[in-house]
Structure 1
């Protein structure tokens, strides 16, 4: 199998899957689909794959069908060094010719930004399906065709429902942002607190470090504020308008106003359907479409309440959008006038409450989802959050990190852990007591809580009294533990 080149950071699992897909011996031709949000390094990864395996990489552009066919023909000629005797009349000619050229050995053929081609040539997916099918030119070919794109709604629909390519792909890969641990390594940040602060702003998107800020990383915690001012809040930095462009680049979003309002609602803590509707001044059924579109574009995620059936909340997946909606959008005029320092100072409490707090909770859930069996007594099967009703106190207890074991139909659902996550608050006995009360209430509702571990996650530390306790059912997880690398 082709080894991953040194200049490709991490992505070992993705590289392994792609290299194995390309290396499959013998006909017929096979199809792979690679997708992911913009700026995640898909093109970088596929270009490296084509280069290392001797394959063809073709990056589509927004162009007419005729021009795209000419550009594709030119790329084929450069790669195969074979003269095309007659210009391609349409994609029927081009796809058939493509498969006929790669019969001798497995060859990667990457078509990047495939949605550009499919938009001007809607029949293209059907043509590929036909040529991959019985009697098609792909039956005698060893082409390993990889279709790639950033339009998540388009790419997601290519293999679903009644799509012509449904059931044809031998590889379906979504290139995700780096995890919070991987992002720290990528940015070269060893201080866990600083690494998480940076992740709260730019997340795990690879392009933001190299292409957008030219490798400028904060040198220390003391440099974090200055780094924010010279990058994301700097009107001359590409990062300054990036959150706006992320929305504008999605073809399914035709009225940006309502989508920005929905995102602003979620960023400011209005995460339930009714709360989002109230914030935007619309009825619940009127925001269903924007929510579905944003979810289809992988900009937000719908997450269920693990303790209340039918209840759910929304979370913005891209940290930079949360930062923009919570911090930048409401002070945009001042930022454009260069008053970034005053804006950042004034919005720091907002950053702590609306950006840092929810982001820390999400990171703690990621940590719990990857936990080995010895932390909670078993491997997590489902991780999320939930609300527990306390009738006696006429209140609700919000559980930030809920870890459930695999469902056994013949037994009550086991709760492996109930967790409290606080970014800027020292955790003490009162937080543990809330978790204990929630555990009692859940036991009365029929859950198996006999071995439930109470987990406290803090970015500010724990009281001395809590550290002094030696309880088998309590674990304290600080930033060092969150960033401790597995294995």
Structure 2
């Protein structure tokens, strides 16, 4: 059984709220499989709690199931009937809390399913919060959901009956590389970046990895066997989240193949320009893609769209369309191709991990405000240039500027230092820069040349020291 790891900050925040003398309403949301239920289950251990998970059914069925969960805590073997309505069920939670020595945690997981089955439930819950729970201050209510658009608009949004009631919110993000390591402490660190890259740091996907076998064999088992758990995962998620999954899949396939500017997507998918924007916004809202623009430049003509979810990026690059090979068990050559392309695929993943490493440092020469990228013209060479990492301070006058290379050390050349130094002068606003070169590995000669040019070299192995 997989042990609970990570999420220490989130657990500490929830426990702090639990210790408060007031009624608390916490909203927890994030994409599916990100670990929301695992976090809640860990939090409510050794606490009196009613945990209910909404289902896609009728309001009556949800009320019946909720009533059973309430009666379970009462240990009332004789009272198995449903409460007359949701107001009475929610109020009974308070009656139970009044007989306990500790604050009662009342969890409604997958709240969007419940709210869609009974449209008045948010208004009813608002009434009970205002007139019952706040009167006694011994209930901690947690509303949790995977439909991020619903949670942000129908629970947190100002038009929601529940607006203004929450006392805290947690948007659960995927693990970064370092949190992923806590789930896979025994794997080779080079393979770790691969596992992080193809799972996007989603805890449930990381749990599928067998540390006793190779990266290649794990990819086979996770994606390319007839019973592979992630063989069709993006399609499943799109069908759960979106009304027109085929259209979203076409957009994602287009972006994965390199047509990532707005007009390019329009031409490749035959979606009209006026219709494309809502599709892209929905994909951004659920955390699958990002709209990227160069730091200090808000010109939309410079923007492009990038699949930020690692699983989706890997799947649309290597898995989509390979059903015949999978069904026939003829995937060896495909795996050969994937393994040959994996270093290129992991380049952007290494950039993300390098940025995450920066965020974790307390001894940087400046305090960084944000981390982004920059691309734009090089007037001297009359061409476009790109910088992997630009991390400005709070004045935007100073920045850490970095280059990232996920390559073998014999392919890391001193000229790359010269290029980094030259490009550092292209970033607008920055008057003083601190240069970093992030490398999978580097030779002593390369590191000596970097030091001579005031460039700090951070090898991948140093991430874990």
* 2:232 maps to which of 233, 241, 244: 241
Superposed displacement of residue 126, structure 1: 1.6
Q: Give structure 1 regions of 4+ aligned residues with deviation exceeding 4 angstroms.
A: 82-87
Corresponding residue number in structure 2 for 1:384: 372
Corresponding residue number in structure 2 for 1:441: 426
Distance in structure 2 (CA, Å) of the matches to 1:189 and 1:301: 32
Do structure 1's residue 185 and structure 2's residue 179 form an aligned pair? no
* 1:430 maps to which of 403, 406, 415: 415
Distance in structure 2 (CA, Å) of the matches to 1:271 and 1:385: 16
Q: Equivalent residues in 2 for 1:186-201 (5 A)? A: 186-201=183-198
- SS for the counterpart of 1:51 is coil
Do structure 1's residue 88 and structure 2's residue 83 form an aligned pair? yes
Q: CA RMSD in A?
A: 2.4
Corresponding residue number in structure 1 for 2:394: 406
* 1:10 maps to which of 6, 12, 16: 6
1:57–1:109 CA contact under 8 A, matched in 2? yes
2:67–2:81 CA contact under 8 A, matched in 1? no
Superposed displacement of residue 378, structure 1: 0.9
Corresponding residue number in structure 2 for 1:99: 94
Superposed displacement of residue 294, structure 1: 0.9
Q: TM-score, normalised by structure 1?
A: 0.87
Cα distance change on mapping 1:441 and 1:316 into 2, 3 Å: closer
2:255–2:307 CA contact under 8 A, matched in 1? yes
Corresponding residue number in structure 2 for 1:3: none
Corresponding residue number in structure 2 for 1:152: 148
Corresponding residue number in structure 2 for 1:344: 335
Superposed displacement of residue 350, structure 1: 4.1
Distance in structure 2 (CA, Å) of the matches to 1:181 and 1:475: 21
Q: How many aligned residue pairs are there?
A: 455
* 2:348 maps to which of 332, 337, 358: 358
* 2:322 maps to which of 322, 331, 339: 331
Distance in structure 2 (CA, Å) of the matches to 1:466 and 1:85: 73
- SS for the counterpart of 1:52 is coil
2:254–2:265 CA contact under 8 A, matched in 1? yes
- CA deviation profile, 1:400-428 (whole Å, cap 9, x unmatched): 11111113xxxxx2232221112236332
- SS for the counterpart of 1:339 is coil
1:218–1:227 CA contact under 8 A, matched in 2? no
Do structure 1's residue 394 and structure 2's residue 382 form an aligned pair? yes
Distance in structure 2 (CA, Å) of the matches to 1:179 and 1:391: 37
Cα distance change on mapping 1:419 and 1:296 into 2, 3 Å: same
Do structure 1's residue 139 and structure 2's residue 119 form an aligned pair? no
Do structure 1's residue 71 and structure 2's residue 68 form an aligned pair? no
Do structure 1's residue 462 and structure 2's residue 462 form an aligned pair? no
Distance in structure 2 (CA, Å) of the matches to 1:197 and 1:331: 21
Distance in structure 2 (CA, Å) of the matches to 1:218 and 1:156: 41
- CA deviation profile, 1:94-135 (whole Å, cap 9, x unmatched): 2233233323541111111111101111221122122222x4
* 1:230 maps to which of 221, 228, 237: 221
Do structure 1's residue 114 and structure 2's residue 111 form an aligned pair? yes
Cα distance change on mapping 1:218 and 1:288 into 2, 3 Å: farther
Superposed displacement of residue 313, structure 1: 3.2
Distance in structure 2 (CA, Å) of the matches to 1:471 and 1:139: 68
**5+ residue gaps in structure 1?**
1-5, 408-412
- SS for the counterpart of 1:279 is helix
Superposed displacement of residue 141, structure 1: 4.7
Cα distance change on mapping 1:278 and 1:361 into 2, 3 Å: farther
- CA deviation profile, 1:50-85 (whole Å, cap 9, x unmatched): 232121111222221111111111111110235769
**5+ residue gaps in structure 2?**
none
Distance in structure 2 (CA, Å) of the matches to 1:337 and 1:367: 42
Distance in structure 2 (CA, Å) of the matches to 1:79 and 1:361: 49
- CA deviation profile, 1:293-329 (whole Å, cap 9, x unmatched): 1111122233332042234333323211111100011
Cα distance change on mapping 1:279 and 1:232 into 2, 3 Å: same
Corresponding residue number in structure 2 for 1:410: none
1:432–1:454 CA contact under 8 A, matched in 2? no
Cα distance change on mapping 1:161 and 1:277 into 2, 3 Å: farther
